[in-house]
Structure 1
Amino acid sequence: MQEKIAQRKADLFKAISHPTRIRILDLLSDGEHCVCDIFEGLNVEQANTSQHLSVMKKQGILQSRKEGLRVIYSIKNPEVIEMLELANQILKKEADEAMSTFAGVAEK
């Protein structure tokens, strides 16, 4: 059972471990968007954007609904937004530590 849970976690992280997918999630963290808004906002081809959206939807990270001819995507679980915020906090902490170290070296 533990192995299945570990595999599921690995699949989840693998599904978001691409810079374009992170950018999509950052965009969707503000609310739902249609595919056309996503690829235009990220300056990525529509086919490429659709492929990334499909991977994340398959893993249960995103959900979609049709509105006429448009497909609207949103983040399925708010915990995904929390994961992104935690990643930002970790990166900020690392940057602050690096700047502190650099400032200490520069003073010598």
Structure 2
Amino acid sequence: MNQHIQQFKADFFKALAHPMRIRILEVLSEGEKNVNELQSILGSEGSAVSQQLAVLRNKNVVHSVKEGTSVIYSLRDPLIKDLLSVTKQIFDNHLVDAISLLEDIRKEP
């Protein structure tokens, strides 16, 4: 595989490697939002949200447009929504495996 693609993937996943950034992307999957809306939905202070948005913006994961005094954020690529969905499915699969393992352990004498 091309080294540039591998580096892109590594950088991309580093940009996603924070729970608040994932939550921001989940919210933006539902539609564009400004910082105040994100703060309200996330229940977090503005500086924390702005800091995480800066990381996502610098890695080209989100897109921002200034409208008056507000900055509106959206997903740069709609496939990010699909990626989040696939990640949830992988989590569910791991959970099913863990539950099966626990059930097997409980059956042991």
- TM-score for both structures, normalised by structure 1: 0.91
Provide the rounded CA distance (Å) in 1 between the counterparts of 2:11 and 2:97: 31
Structure 2 equivalent of residue 59 of structure 1: 59
Question: How high is the sequence identity, in percent, across the aligned residues?
Answer: 38
Aligned letter for 1:49? Answer: V
RMSD: 1.5
Residue 18 of structure 1 aligns with an amino acid whose one-letter code is: H
Deviations 1:44-98 (A, max 9, x none): 2211211111111121111111222111101011111111111100000000111
- 1:40-59 to structure 2, matched below 5 A, reads 40-59=40-59
The number of residues matched between the two structures is 108
Aligned counterparts of 1:22 and 1:71: Cα–Cα separation in 2: 19
Counterpart residue type for residue 15 of structure 1: A
Distance 2:101 2:11 in 1: 36
Gaps of 5+ in 2: none
Look up the equivalent residue of 2:25 and give its one-letter code: L
Where does residue 83 of structure 2 map in the other structure? 83
In structure 1, the gaps of 5 or more residues are none
Structure 1's consecutive aligned runs of 4 or more residues displaced over 4 angstroms after TM superposition are none
- Tell me which residue corresponds to 1:105: 105
Question: What TM-score do you get using the length of structure 2 for normalisation?
Answer: 0.90
Amino acid at match of 2:15: A
Partner in structure 2 of residue 71 of structure 1: 71
Q: Distance in 1 between matches of 2:82 and 2:101?
A: 29
